[in-house]
Structure 1
Amino acid sequence: MRRELITAIPPAEIGAILEKSGAEVKIEIGEAEPFHGMPRYRLTIEGTEEEIERFMETLRLARAGG
């Protein structure tokens, strides 16, 4: 399964979140069009549906202050 996401989270932080999640997914990071001058990144996440959801849940909690 593949999922794409555009985010302002810096690549180093994405790596830390991936490590913390323990999810077995492959993430490719590329640049996306800036939004009002703020850099954005295009994430391509590949893995099983369960592993992608595991990573996404950790990402949501990390950005929500959880």
Structure 2
Amino acid sequence: MARPQSPRGQGRRRVIDAAVELFAEHGVSGTSLQMIADHLGVTKAAVYYQFHAKEDIVLA
């Protein structure tokens, strides 16, 4: 059975929300894409799929 598809943009929103939480705790420079991925329970590639760089998340 196929997984239900997420509404468009929900993945980006999850990454942004996780990043904001980690940025508040560790600062932008102290937060890596791997930390964001670990927080979400996904691979770093999944984060890169949504954003090409941490700076893109900061600007989102």
Same fold flag (TM > 0.5): no
Report the TM-score when normalising by structure 1: 0.27
Per chain length, whose mean CA-contact separation is higher, i.e. which structure has more relative contact order (CA < 8 Å, sep 6+)? Answer: 1
Please identify which structure carries the higher helix content: 2
TM-score (norm 2): 0.28
